């Protein structure tokens, strides 16, 4: 099993990172998710991401361990941006490799759901008019997405 | 003990981190928040709604009833919004 975590303060190019995803010979499925900074209908110029160096890597590592315990995964891969992320640019890349697609799809979603609520990152809006906006509030829907996994059965 | 602050908690308190000597009557994360609140207006503002404040002890999430005595590093921050 391979795990990889990178916290990045420069442009996250998914195409370049995809070539870094090492896949074992027993891997039959690789699923990947890219989360991007959206423009909020022309209101937003960028998002600023702050993180807790050290704990961010450690916490993502613990989330990955939980995913490994739940599914038979060969590869798990997370790259997360910090700093100023302009609209249109990727913020996060999560990829998982497994024997079959269900485990790969589910593991990516699991890692994203826990990353949202548990990994120590915070977002603040930078607006098109040049002002620095508010810190973004945590969403209840993200907590609910995370809680769902408490009841969900594991897929092979 | 090193105490770190992030996002709007950091901004309201005005420093990213500081060294503190824990008073004897402070044993849990909740006690620490209560004690910090009394250190000035910035602290009181940052930690006003203490139920929203998340705590990490030595880089692991803990609840407010968890002990902080003996920790090397404690961090206080808002609910997380990464991903």
Domain ranges of chain B: 2-62+70-77
On the question of pLDDT at A3 being above 90, the answer is: no
How far away is chain B from the Cα of A16, in angstroms, using its nearest Cα? 19
d(CA A129, CA A126): 9
Which chain B residues touch A if contact means CB-CB below 8 Å? 4, 6-8, 56, 59-61, 75, 77-83
Residue extents of the structural domains in chain A: 2-148
pTM given for the model: 0.94
pLDDT digits (tens, 9 = 90+) for B10-69: 999 999 999 999 999 999 999 999 999 999 999 999 999 999 999 999 999 999 999 999
Chain B CB contacts of A63 under 8 Å are none
ipTM: 0.96
Residue A122: closest C-alpha in chain B: B81
Task: Please state the separation of Cα A32 from the chain's center in Å.
Answer: 10
- Nearest 5°: phi and psi at A47? -115, 140
Strand order in the sheet with B60-62: B17-19, B2-5, B73-77, B54-57, B60-62
Place of tokens 């620490």: B32
The answer to whether B7 contacts A135, with C-beta atoms less than 8 Å apart, is: yes
CATH 3.90.180.10 assigned to domain B2-62+70-77? The reply is no
Mutation site for B-interface testing, chosen from A7, A81, A82, A120 by largest number of B Cβ within 10 Å: A120
pLDDT digits (tens, 9 = 90+) for A68-118: 999 999 889 999 999 999 999 999 999 999 999 999 999 999 999 999 999
Q: CATH number of the domain at A2-148, out of 2.102.10.10, 1.10.1040.10, 3.90.1170.40, 3.90.1150.10?
A: 3.90.1170.40
What tokens were used for A41? Answer: 């209908």
Nearest to B59 among A55, A118, A135 (CB): A55
């Amino acid at each position: 099993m391979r795990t990889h975590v990178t916290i990045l303060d420069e442009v996250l190019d998914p195409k370049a990172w995809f070539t870094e995803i090492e896949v074992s010979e027993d891997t039959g499925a690789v699923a990947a998710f890219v989360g991007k900074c959206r423009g909020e209908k022309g209101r937003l110029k960028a998002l600023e991401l702050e993180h807790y160096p050290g704990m961010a890597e450690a916490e993502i590592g613990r989330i990955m361990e939980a995913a490994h315990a739940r599914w038979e995964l060969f590869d798990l891969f997370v790259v997360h941006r910090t700093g100023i992320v302009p609209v249109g640019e990727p913020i996060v890349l999560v990829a998982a490799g497994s024997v079959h697609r269900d485990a790969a799809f589910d593991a990516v979603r699991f890692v994203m759901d826990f990353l949202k609520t548990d990994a120590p990152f915070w977002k603040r809006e930078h607006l098109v008019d040049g002002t620095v906006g508010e810190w973004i509030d945590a969403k209840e829907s993200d907590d609910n997405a995370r809680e769902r996994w408490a009841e969900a059965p594991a897929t092979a | 003990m090193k105490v770190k602050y992030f996002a709007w908690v950091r901004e309201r308190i005005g420093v990213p981190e500081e060294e503190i000597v824990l008073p004897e009557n402070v044993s849990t994360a909740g006690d620490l928040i209560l004690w910090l609140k009394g250190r000035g207006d910035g602290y009181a503002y940052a930690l006003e709604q203490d139920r929203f404040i998340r705590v990490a002890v030595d880089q692991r999430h803990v609840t407010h009833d968890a002990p902080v005595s003996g920790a090397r590093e404690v961090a206080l921050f808002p609910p997380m919004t990464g991903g």
